[in-house]
Amino acid sequence: MSTADITAEHHDEHHDHGPAKGLSRWLFTTNHKDIGSMYLWFSLAMFLVGGCMALVIRAELFQPGLQLVEPGFFNQMTTMHGLIMVFGAVMPAFVGLANWMVPMMIGAPDMALPRMNNWSFWILPFAFGMLLLTLFMDGGAPNFGWTFYAPLSTTYAPDSVTFFIFAVHMMGISSIMGAINIVATILNMRAPGMTLMKMPLFVWTWLITAYLLIAVMPVLAGVVTMMLMDIHFGTSFFDAAGGGDPVLFQHVFWFFGHPEVYIMILPAFGIVSAIIPTFARKQLFGYASMVYATASIAFLSFIVWAHHMFTVGMPLAGELFFMFATMLIAVPTGVKVFNWIATMWRGSMTFETPMLFALAFVILFTIGGLSGLMLAIAPADFQYHDTYFVVAHFHYVLVPGAIFSIMAAVYYWLPKWTGHQLNESAGKFHFWMSFIGVNITFFPMHFIGLAGMPRRIPDYALQFADFNAVASVGAFIFGLSQLIFVWNVIQNIRSGKPAEAKCWEGAEGLEWEVPSPAPYHTFTTPPQLEGAK
């Protein structure tokens, strides 16, 4: 990255060491910018791998009948696509953004625990390398869905399940250590004068996300350990024969799983809350309620998990409770959407690439949220559950939701990282191709789900054919468009007009006080904050 160049030229610092040279720089770095970059490159690579798997899926589903892959391999693709995207693309990307931006945003020189930070990252390539290599095992890669319900994932699983469990443990350790690091950094290393209620919202959302991670990743570790015990050590947690219960698996998994999806969206909320004020040239509306709304969403996320299990045979009281609690989450989420719109209202907007992605986020995430509200209605959910309606819902909140926010963040902060202004037309081209592709792919899925197409099937009845064909075309458009993104990023690193410290006219925040590209070490002495922020 270009931060290597600056050490010779821009020396604001008192001490003299720049980054090491060569491979050791990356293996042993404790610098939050280096580690952030590694997370982001890793996430991009995983995004492309997971994306290829999605294209295998959509290619097979282009027409009814089996043309390209066998059902067993198809199940491996759907499973691995989910695992790679959730744990390898979305989460590491947000962690990478946190690593790069949180210290700068709070005026800290680095993260609180830099060596642990390095280790958190380096676990990931090994965990995912192992997971991907299971594709070559006899019996194939994990094929039981990213939600890996027992006993399909215990008694009936291929041998690769053990490596899957190991990989999940490794990723979990990485996330837990990363989250501890974030909390320690934010609570202890803010510049003097930056009270909690003066932090940028991206920092707030990451603080809350970190608490969610610390609370639920151990639960995931617990459930995969119970699986391991059932598979190899003769226990019966999820096996009725020994007095256990497959539904126990679902409860424990979703107790992790629901907060997990909020872990994947709260940082996105923070990003959008940084970008919209910048390009509307107007302060974020309702800062305090944004903080409280985020905290409420995080709290509520712990008490709604069984809305993923409405058809499992829960007692009526349980179904009613989870239905009502889930509907409630719409309130703080709605508050956030209204606040973003109120920020835009009577602002002075321009529509550079980051803003385009942020606005698309607001619109399309809201659509995903509304389909989520429909899913919350338990009696109706009996018709939606495990169909493409659910697939449409979660892809809307994850792709034009989380992924678009990540791209928005990358476009927003790239000039700060590289010192080069964005190539706006290239960025806009990527945006429009992605926006069109994403909608062509996922909007039809609402309809085929309602019409009765189940999830996780490699082949379908004829009435679903037309919209499946449309979705597959959209998927290829969207997938190929991401190559534009890769090109844009690499281009920006290597060339472009020099960017100023404050890359965007309306940008506010400590990160815009340091030069672009940001020096290898920033805020080695804490900044002096002027009054209210």
Instruction: Give, for 236, the enclosing helix (H) or strand (E).
Output: none
Residue in 175, 209, 343, 434 annotated catalytic: 175
Residue in 122, 146, 149, 512 annotated catalytic: 146
Cβ proximity to other proteins: between 38 and 228 the closer is: 228
d(CA 418, CA 433): 25
Active site residue 425: no
d(CA 63, CA 462): 9
Other beta carbons less than 10 A from residue 437's beta carbon: 21
| Burial classification of residue 462, based on how many CB atoms lie within 10 Å of its CB (0-12 exposed, 13-18 middle, 19 or more buried) | exposed
Minimum distance from residue 288 beta carbon to other proteins (Å): 8
Residue in 33, 282, 308, 420 annotated catalytic: 308
Active site residue 307: yes
Residue in 251, 281, 455, 533 annotated catalytic: 455
Residue in 333, 353, 387, 522 annotated catalytic: 333
For the chain, report the end-to-end CA distance as a whole number of angstroms: 31
| Burial classification of residue 9, based on how many CB atoms lie within 10 Å of its CB (0-12 exposed, 13-18 middle, 19 or more buried) | exposed
Active site residue 232: no
Active site residue 296: no
Cβ proximity to other proteins: between 3 and 250 the closer is: 250
d(CA 294, CA 300): 10
Minimum distance from residue 78 beta carbon to other proteins (Å): 8
d(CA 326, CA 88): 27
Report CA torsion sign: 142, 143, 145, 147.
negative
Active site residue 420: no
Active site residue 251: no
Place of tokens 């994932």: 153
d(CA 333, CA 178): 26
Cβ proximity to other proteins: between 285 and 520 the closer is: 285
What is the C-alpha R_g of the chain?
Answer: 23
Active site residue 209: no
Written in H, E and C, the secondary structure of 264-312 is CCHHHHHHHHHHHHHHHCCCCCCHHHHHHHHHHHHHHHHHCHHHHCCCC
Active site residue 405: no
Active site residue 110: yes
Active site residue 260: yes
Cβ proximity to other proteins: between 27 and 461 the closer is: 461
Tokens of 108: 């800290």
Minimum distance from residue 514 beta carbon to other proteins (Å): 25
Q: Answer yes or no: are the C-beta atoms of 495 and 79 closer than 8 Å.
A: no
Instruction: Give, for 20, the enclosing helix (H) or strand (E).
Output: none
Cβ proximity to other proteins: between 330 and 493 the closer is: 330
Report CA torsion sign: 391, 392, 396, 397.
negative
Minimum distance from residue 418 beta carbon to other proteins (Å): 26
Minimum distance from residue 518 beta carbon to other proteins (Å): 27
Active site residue 156: no
Cβ proximity to other proteins: between 52 and 377 the closer is: 377
Residue in 273, 301, 441, 472 annotated catalytic: 273
Residue in 32, 33, 169, 258 annotated catalytic: 258
Active site residue 174: yes
Minimum distance from residue 329 beta carbon to other proteins (Å): 10
Active site residue 146: yes
Minimum distance from residue 318 beta carbon to other proteins (Å): 9
Cβ proximity to other proteins: between 265 and 356 the closer is: 356
Q: Which residues are catalytic?
A: 81, 110, 146, 174-175, 258, 260, 262, 273, 307-308, 333, 336, 455
